[in-house]
Structure 1
């Protein structure tokens, strides 16, 4: 039996995109959202995972770059599997716990990244018109995970039965 050369096997493996975001929230479960300059929908601080970068490293880097905060990133709250949607290939989206943030702290954020126009605290009801439905669903699950202490595994923002 002929073996496939290892390098050929490695080249044949699927590649997935990854993103990492951080959920900051206040005592009323309002979440910190940022208004990007490059797309119509709002987001949480975060972004695409670079080559040779761990998702938690991405999360901390993006928070520092986008909103000027340097503080420890907490535990993972959500790992969401995203199917190929025709524009983007399949991938994984991570949400990490950023912890509590207050209105005065949000007002003091240094938004020096040209990718971010504004940041504010919003309830999920208020965010319905600001966010893509998949992110809105993912954030609702992330807030549940904050309160339960769990980790949610999702597909398209919906918890996977028996896993999340």
Structure 2
């Protein structure tokens, strides 16, 4: 078996898109969602990881850019494998714990980001009508992970069923 030169091998490696978001919730387990101006579905605060940027840096940067919020991130709640969806290639999504936020804090958010139309706190049931099914599953899993203090590996938002040895 002939081996490729290392530079050719490195160039042949699969590239995955990567996104990072922040789960903010209130004391009633409602989650903070953002209404974007560029697509019909709502999102949690976050976005695409830029070249040479760590996912946790992305999450904190996007939280500040989108909502003007600067706070330390908590634990990593979810790592989600996302299959190719239309024009969007396969990827990984990271969700970090942003902690609790109050209704007064949410009402005080005045986003200057042109991508953000509005923000609000929503129950899981309400969120189901606003976000994509995969994100709804990811949010649900992230809420459970926050309650349990554990990171959950997911596939399309659902806990992975892979057996670990």
Report if TM-score (shorter chain) is over 0.5. Answer: yes
CA distance in 1: counterparts of 2:146 and 2:111, whole angstroms: 26
CA distance in 1: counterparts of 2:92 and 2:163, whole angstroms: 16
Query: Given the alignment of the two structures, is residue 10 of structure 1 paired with residue 10 of structure 2, yes or no?
Result: yes
CA distance in 2: counterparts of 1:49 and 1:7, whole angstroms: 24
Q: 5 Å matches for 1:54-65? A: 54-65=54-65
Deviations 1:18-56 (A, max 9, x none): 000000000100000000000000000000000000000
TM-score where L is the length of structure 2: 0.96
CA distance in 1: counterparts of 2:89 and 2:160, whole angstroms: 20
Shift of 1:110: 2.5
CA distance in 1: counterparts of 2:163 and 2:59, whole angstroms: 24
Q: Does structure 2 retain, via aligned residues, the 8 Å contact 1:16–1:89?
A: yes
CA distance in 2: counterparts of 1:20 and 1:92, whole angstroms: 8
Unaligned runs of 5+ in 2: none
Q: Does structure 2 retain, via aligned residues, the 8 Å contact 1:153–1:163?
A: no
TM-score where L is the length of structure 1: 0.96
Residue 100 of structure 1 corresponds to which residue in structure 2? 100
Unaligned runs of 5+ in 1: none
Residue 45 of structure 1 corresponds to which residue in structure 2? 45
Please tell me the root mean square deviation across aligned C-alpha atoms, in Å.
Answer: 1.4
